[in-house]
Amino acid sequence: MALSAAAALAYHLRVSLADRRAVVVGGRAAEARHLVLYGLAVIGLFFAAFSTGFTLQGLWDRVIADALVPLNRPDFGGPGGLTRDEMLRVQLVSQIPPILAGLALWLGTWLPLQRGLRAATADGEIERRSVVRKLAIYFIVGVSAVVALVSATFGSSAVIRRLLGDPFQEPFTSLVHDLGFPISFTIIFAALWLFHRRVVEAEAARET
């Protein structure tokens, strides 16, 4: 089912791009087209970003944190259950397909839209003036900033609690393990924020 949906999506994206090359798409048709394509780009980008964040968190927890601060954690499900290495493999197997699918969806929509944007034609002018494009970019900038800020706040609060001698300690964790989520998501979404901030600056420079 997933392969069929991907094939159908790829086919209709190619049809949309072919229509745009054949004739200038303007007015409400252009707005509807932009709404669909930029919506797909945003969905694909965040799908890949969140999946990458959870994958990095799992790798940090098992590879880095467990090496620096070994913990006597029980296997998942008790005796005879999955070991932590097996749990990591399950997580990687479940997260890699969403990462690849999200990247394919984002690149498959974002790159053609960017190429159309640079064209010195009437179609390129429609792309450059698209309100939907600006809303999509600012939406990505806003969400990325919020997620990066929240993640950094969680990480900072964990460090401050330990420095102040907070007696609360979960039985199977440490500061290094607690920093896996904040560090992973701060890196991913700070990078998204910086990338799309540069897109915003390029848009502003193009219009001046």
**pLDDT tens-digit series, residues 103-161:** 999 998 888 888 777 666 666 677 777 788 889 999 999 999 999 999 999 999 888 88
Report the 3 state secondary structure along 71-119.
Answer: CCCCCECCCCCECHHHHHHHHHHHHHHHHHHHHHHHHHHHHHHHHHHHC
Contacts 24+ apart (CB under 8 A), 23-28: 24/121, 24/122, 24/123, 24/126, 25/123, 25/126, 26/122, 26/126
Residue 4 lies in a domain: no
Residue 16 or residue 44, greater confidence = 44
Is residue 126 packed enough to be buried (19+ CB in 10 Å), middle (13-18) or exposed (0-12)? buried
Kindly tell me the burial class for residue 13, based on how many C-beta atoms sit within 10 Å of its own C-beta (0-12, 13-18, 19 or more).
middle
Domain membership of residue 103 (yes or no) is: yes
Length of the chain: 208
Higher-confidence residue: 184 or 18? 184
Q: Is residue 66 part of a domain?
A: yes
Does 49 or 66 have the greater pLDDT score? 49
Q: Domain of 102?
A: 38-207
Number of domains in the chain: 1
Is residue 29 domain-resident?
no
Q: How many whole angstroms separate alpha carbon 167 and alpha carbon 175? A: 13
User: Is residue 17 domain-resident?
Assistant: no
The predicted-structure confidence for 68-97, as pLDDT tens digits, reads as follows: 777 666 555 555 566 777 788 888 888 899
